Chains A and B, each alone.
Chain A
């Protein structure tokens, strides 16, 4: 009973820490993004709330929490209200299988630094990221607005096309590691990170991940200048905040996945494993912001052409070549 209690307490502490850290980082990722993007565009970015605008996330949270939560007339109320939660929930769930450090040893017992080591971790990630589309599509549809609907439809279409290359680009990694578990994949990269042998898969996954997180070259579901805000046009207050939070947690999760799958996870010399994981994730996040600061939004047909005619055949080819080499 006592060990059970200790385990439960440990699990809850871990969950709380991970959740708190994710939320905190999501808030400060917004700050980092705004600051870094501003510098890329020769601006200052937020610098009024606190020193260097460091209190800006706090101000944003207060603003969102105190804003009125409006629900448009004619909206499908239950779906409208649940949709943002779906987006945020699936984004958080995906982080559950990402290992962020070597096992800690506390009072002689090993504590794995991953919320749960599923043996089908990668499949779980894909399942959750596919579920996240429901939040976007249903949120857009339920708001009973043409912009919301268009954004939702675009979101669904985009997710379907990019989920394919996202999944297929990882098949070579699974072949190399021989496991779906993300912990095993990290262990398999102890000697060298997979980006060295799978640069093409890395590129395909990076592009697809940016499409999955709806970031700027692929932010067609939002597309400010044509759809106002796309699927979250009608949302206000904290419901919009949840969409926003989901997007930034998504960004962290995919940066984490890229780290775990291609950059060797928490492996690295000198510095402690968790620091290495953090550095790599931050690097990927900065790369994503850099891409956002550089590239314009793709047109809808270009997006589809890139997904179906370039990324999908390339990932299939990559699977074939890797399969042949592994077989030999």
Chain B
């Protein structure tokens, strides 16, 4: 008998809860009218950023292309006269991209980054193939101050080995001998 009373009480509580909901303002966000601002690190459209000096960050190392699980990134490497590498063309097929962010994780120069922008659906599938000029932006994205060549462990136009930011003098391996 007590269990039956408990059941009736539980039922009553359930019905009261839903009844009270009738007088609450719905919590739904009405999407096209109201767009909530997404966190900076949410994963949407991919861009290629520039370093603080305004140079392209991408050094065409192919790491993003290699890590991409759906193989939607392709490029061709080239080298400037001063020895700095860049991508002569860079292509992302967004109809294949799954926005996993692995390319961003793999990138050593912070060049490829995912942005919170997600509204670029369209009906023409060929227009989802983005070339380098569509991808390249004029800012640093999420990583404001990073400049790969300032931290590089090789000779660059910034300096010789051991002269970059936070870099120690190269170790003379012969002096390390016992």
Contacts and interface: CB of A to CB of B under 8 A. Distances in A.
A196 interface: no
Interface string B15-30: 1011101101111101
Interface in A264-322: 290, 293-295
B14 interface: yes
Nearest to B30: A44
Interface stretch (A34-42, A171-179, A252-260): A34-42
Contacts of B14: 294-295
Interface in B51-86: none
A80 B11 CA distance: 40
A53 to B, nearest CB: 12
B144 to A, nearest CB: 40
B21 A41 contact: yes
Nearest to B24: A42
A293 B28 contact: no
B31 to A, nearest CB: 11
B15 A294 contact: yes
Interface residues of A, number: 12
Interface string B117-152: 000000000000000000000000000000000000
B20 to A, nearest CB: 10
Contacts of A47: 30
A47 B30 CA distance: 10
A44 B28 contact: yes
A42 B24 CA distance: 7
B26 A40 contact: no
A290 B15 contact: yes
Nearest to A41: B21
Contacts of A41: 18, 21
Interface string A55-97: 0000000000000000000000000000000000000000000
Given A290-B15, A294-B14, A39 B28 contact: no
A82 B18 CA distance: 39
B159 to A, nearest CB: 61
Contact of B18 (A43, A44, A290): A290
A43 B15 contact: no
Contacts of B18: 40-41, 290, 293-294
Contacts of B22: 39-40
A204 B30 CA distance: 41
A42 B26 contact: yes
Contacts of B24: 42
Contacts of B21: 39-42
A237 B139 CA distance: 52
A286 to B, nearest CB: 10
A41 B19 CA distance: 10
A43 B24 CA distance: 10
A47 B28 CA distance: 12
Contacts of B17: 294
Contacts of B25: 42
Interface in B1-60: 11, 14-15, 17-19, 21-22, 24-28, 30
Between B18, B21, B27, B28, the greatest number of chain A beta carbons within 10 A of the residue's beta carbon is seen for: B18
Interface of A: 38-44, 47, 290, 293-295
The 8 A-B pairs of least Cβ separation, nearest first, read A294-B18, A40-B18, A294-B14, A44-B26, A44-B28, A293-B18, A42-B26, A42-B27
Given A41-B18, A42-B25, 10 more contacts: A40-B21, A41-B21, A42-B21, A43-B26, A43-B28, A44-B26, A44-B30, A293-B18, A294-B14, A294-B15
Interface of B: 11, 14-15, 17-19, 21-22, 24-28, 30
6 contacts: A40-B19, A41-B21, A43-B28, A44-B28, A44-B30, A290-B19
